[in-house]
Structure 1
């Protein structure tokens, strides 16, 4: 797995979490700019998922099992979009809290992906 990409996804997720957390602190719902940030983080996670599947296709194997690795890859890709959809149904500060929590979950999943691959 590409360590730099894993770090970039985790760092972008933490920046998004801080940004949405600050919006929640200011009692603001998620706005269009937040959704652009979610899209950037989601694209990074998508690139990581594609690279992970390509590496699996080339015969490289994670240390802790392929099934676990694939499950974490899919979960990492789905974390922020799922939080974004939930934030649309809650157009208060709690929508921003939801996105911040989803972004923190993504950052934790990235650490776990790094461990599963053998980092």
Structure 2
């Protein structure tokens, strides 16, 4: 996996988590700006998916298996949109907390993706 993509997705996910966590602390629901932030993080995860698929088609292989790697990629892509939809159902501070948790989950998935691909391999 390209380190720049991994770092970009991880950092944007953590920034979104901090931003929405602060909104939850201030007793605020998610707003339009939060959804724009979620879109940015989701686009970064989509870029990661495309770059990874291109690398897989070029013959690069993750150390711990292609199927597991692709499954984690799809999960990483779905983490923020799922949190966003759940936050729409919960229009209180807990909606912001859900998105914050989604950002943290995505950051953890990124660590696992990096581990599956193989440290120093990409």
TM class by shorter chain equals: over 0.9
CA distance in 2: counterparts of 1:43 and 1:4, whole angstroms? 14
Displacement after TM superposition at 1:59 (Å): 1.2
Deviations 1:38-74 (A, max 9, x none): 0000000000000111111111100000011000000
Q: Which residue of 2 aligns with 1:7?
A: 7
TM-score (normalizing by structure 2) = 0.96
Displacement after TM superposition at 1:4 (Å): 1.2
Q: Which residue of 1 aligns with 2:67?
A: 67
CA distance in 2: counterparts of 1:43 and 1:76, whole angstroms? 11
Q: Which residue of 2 aligns with 1:40?
A: 40
TM-score (normalizing by structure 1) = 0.99
What's the RMSD between the two structures over aligned residues?
Answer: 0.5
Q: How does 1:97-108 map to 2 (within 5 A)?
A: 97-108=97-108
CA distance in 2: counterparts of 1:118 and 1:27, whole angstroms? 41
Query: Are 2:32 and 1:16 equivalent residues in the alignment?
Result: no
Where structure 1 has 5 or more consecutive residues not aligned to the other structure, the ranges are none
Q: Which residue of 1 aligns with 2:94?
A: 94
